[in-house]
A and B are shown apart, each in its own frame.
Chain A
Amino acid sequence: MLVLMGFLAAIALAILRLRDGITAVMLSGIYSLLSAGVFVLMDAVDVAFTEAAVGAGISTVLLLATLHRTNRLTRPSRHRAAVPLIVVLMTGAALVYGTWDMPRYGDAGSPPNQHVGLRYLEESPKTTGIPNVVTAVLASYRGYDTLGEATVVLTAAVGVLALLGARRRKDDPHDR
Chain B
Amino acid sequence: MIDDQVILRVAARVLTPVIWLFALYVQAHGDYGPGGGFQAGVLFAAGFILYALVNGLGAAEAIVPARVSETMMPLGVLIYAGVGFAAMLAGGNFLDYNVLADDPKKGQHLGIIVIELGVGITVAGVMIQLFSAFARRPA
Residues of A in contact with B (beta carbons under 8 Å apart): 45-46, 48-50, 53-54, 57-58, 61-62, 65-66, 68-69, 127-132, 134-136, 138-140, 143-144, 146-147, 149-151, 153-154, 156-158, 160-161, 164, 166, 168, 176
Contact = CB atoms under 8 A, between A and B. Distances in A.
29 contacts: A49-B34, A54-B42, A57-B46, A58-B42, A61-B46, A69-B139, A128-B109, A130-B31, A132-B32, A132-B34, A135-B30, A139-B111, A139-B112, A139-B115, A140-B97, A140-B111, A143-B111, A143-B115, A144-B95, A146-B119, A147-B95, A150-B80, A150-B119, A150-B122, A154-B76, A157-B73, A158-B73, A160-B130, A168-B66
Contacts of B95: 143-144, 147
Contact of B126 (A135, A143, A157, A176): A157
B12 interface: no
Contacts of B36: 46, 134-135, 138-139
Contacts of A58: 42, 45-46, 49, 127, 131
Interface range on chain B (Cβ under 8 Å from partner)? 35 or more
Interface in B26-47: 26, 30-36, 38-39, 42-43, 45-46
Contacts of B125: 157
Nearest to B34: A45
Contact of A132 (B33, B42, B66, B133): B33
Nearest to A156: B126
A46 to B, nearest CB: 5
A46 B80 CA distance: 21
Interface of B, helix, strand, loop or mixed by DSSP: helix
Nearest to B108: A128
Q: Sort A-B residue pairs by CB-CB distance and give the 3 closest, nearest first.
A: A129-B105, A65-B134, A166-B133
B115 A68 contact: no
A175 B126 CA distance: 22
B34 A157 contact: no
Contacts of B74: 154
B113 to A, nearest CB: 9
Contacts of A160: 130, 133
Residue in A45, A48, A66, A151 with the greatest tally of chain B CB atoms within 10 Å: A151
Interface in B13-34: 26, 30-34
A128 B116 CA distance: 15
A156 B133 CA distance: 14
Contacts of A157: 73, 125-126, 129-130
A162 B77 CA distance: 19
A136 B112 CA distance: 8
Contacts of B132: 166
Nearest to A138: B36
